[in-house]
Amino acid sequence: MRWLIVQLTLLQLQGEFGSVFYPPYEKNFWLEFGGTSTTTSKPVTIWKPRPVFQNPGYNGTIHTVTLGQTTHIDCQVKDLHGYQVSWLKKVNGTMDLLTTEHLVFSADARYSVVYTPPDNWKLVIKSSQTKDSATYLCQVNSHPPTFIMVKLLVIVPSLQMIDDMGDPVTEKYFKPGGTIVLRCLVANYRDDFHLPVWFKDGVKLIGERTGRRVKYEYGRDGSLELRLYLVGAGAQDTGNYTCTIPGIDISRAAVSLFLTLGEETAAVYSQATQLYFGSTSLVFIISFLNLIVNF
C-alpha cells in the first residue's frame, strides 16, 4: 500500500518531458538539490581606465638648470582613479624614492612636490647642485607601473686664467709703463649667471680707475672671456688677481703678476717666489734680487 502511494506521488510530479520538478518552482529537482550544477558562474571584471600622461613627448627629454637656481620637472597625468604618483631619482643604477603624492621621503629638504590642478605633479628642486644631475622618473603605481623619465643636467661653469695664446697661465711678468692684459675664460657660461668680477689680493675691483678697464667677450661655444686691461702698469699693479662669478660656489681662477726690468730676470723672480714660500728669510730674497738686477 505504501509503495502504491509513493508511486502515485511521483507520477503527479512528473513534468512534460519526464523530469521531476519541485513545485512551485520550474527547476530540475535533482540538479537543484542533489548534485553539481551544470551552470558555471564567471567572475565579474570591473574595467578601470589606465592613467594617461598628457605629454608623452616629454619622456626621455633633457632638462637643464643653472647651478644654484631653482627648477621643476612637470608630470601631467590624468585618469588616476585612485592610483598614486611618485617621483624617483636614478643615479648609477640606484633608485631613490623622493615623493609619493604630497609626501616627501627624501632627507634633502630641497626636494618637494607641488600639485597644480587639474593634473600636474611638479617635482621642485631648490638651489640646484652638481649632485642633482640625474634621471628622474614620474611613476604611477598601476599594474604594470607606467612612467615617464627626464634627465636633468646642472650647468656648472669653470674658470681659468689664460695667456694670449689661450693656454693656461698662473704667472705673468711685465715691464713698468706697459699695458697688461689679464684674461679669465669662463666655460659653460649662461645668461642667468652674474657677470664675472675681478679681485686683487682678495679685494674686489669696483669700477674703472685711470688706466684700468674691463671688457667682456662672448664665444660661440658658450664661453665668456673676461679681460682686465692695466694701462701704464707699475709696481702698484703687482699682486694676485682672481676672477669668479658671484652667487655660486665654484673655484676661482688665479694669476700672479710680477714686475720685471727685463725678460732675462723673469726666471729669477719666479725662483725667488718659490724661495719666498719655502723660506722665512724675506731680507735674503730682496737682497738676492737687487744683486742680480744691479749686476
Residue 245, CA atoms < 13 Å, CB-side half-sphere? 25
If you ran DSSP here, which 8-state letter would residue 29 be given? H
pTM: 0.63
Q: Is the Cβ–Cβ distance between 174 and 260 less than 8 Å?
A: yes
Task: Return contacts of 127-130, CB within 8 angstroms, 24+ apart.
Answer: 127/68, 127/69, 127/70, 128/65, 128/66, 128/67, 128/68, 128/69, 128/70, 128/71, 128/154, 129/67, 129/154, 130/67, 130/154, 130/156
Instruction: Give the per-residue pLDDT at 42.
Output: 63
Instruction: Give the per-residue pLDDT at 214.
Output: 87
Q: Which residues contact 107 (CB under 8 A, 6 or more apart)?
A: none
Q: Is the Cβ–Cβ distance between 253 and 161 less than 8 Å?
A: yes
Helix axes 266-278, 282-294, angle to 10 degrees: 170
Architecture of the domain delimited by 52-155: Sandwich (2.60)
Q: Is the Cβ–Cβ distance between 153 and 69 less than 8 Å?
A: no
pLDDT tens for the chain, 295 residues long, are 554 444 544 444 444 444 444 344 444 444 444 455 555 566 665 666 778 888 878 899 999 998 989 999 999 998 888 899 999 999 998 999 999 999 999 999 999 999 999 899 999 999 999 999 999 999 998 888 889 999 999 999 999 999 989 999 999 998 888 889 999 999 999 888 889 999 999 999 876 665 678 888 988 888 999 999 998 888 999 999 999 999 888 899 999 999 887 554 444 445 544 544 454 444 444 454 454 444 4
Q: Is the Cβ–Cβ distance between 66 and 153 less than 8 Å?
A: no
Instruction: Give the per-residue pLDDT at 15.
Output: 46
Which residue ranges make up each domain of the chain? 2-33, 52-155, 158-259
Q: Is the Cβ–Cβ distance between 63 and 138 less than 8 Å?
A: no
| 52-155 against 158-259: fold identical | yes
Strands of the sheet with 134-140, listed across from one edge? 62-66, 146-155, 134-140, 85-91, 94-100, 103-104
> Domain 158-259 in CATH: superfamily?
Immunoglobulins (2.60.40.10)
Instruction: Give the per-residue pLDDT at 209.
Output: 60
Q: Which residues contact 212 (CB under 8 A, 6 or more apart)?
A: 205, 228, 229, 230, 231
Instruction: Give the per-residue pLDDT at 207.
Output: 62
Instruction: Quote the cell numbers at residue 65.
Output: 638648470
Angle at the Cα of 216 from the Cα atoms of 212 and 219, rounded to 5 degrees: 150
Q: Is the Cβ–Cβ distance between 159 and 196 less than 8 Å?
A: yes
**What does the radius of gyration of the chain's CA atoms come to, in whole angstroms?**
41
φ, ψ at 87 (rounded to 5°): -110, 135
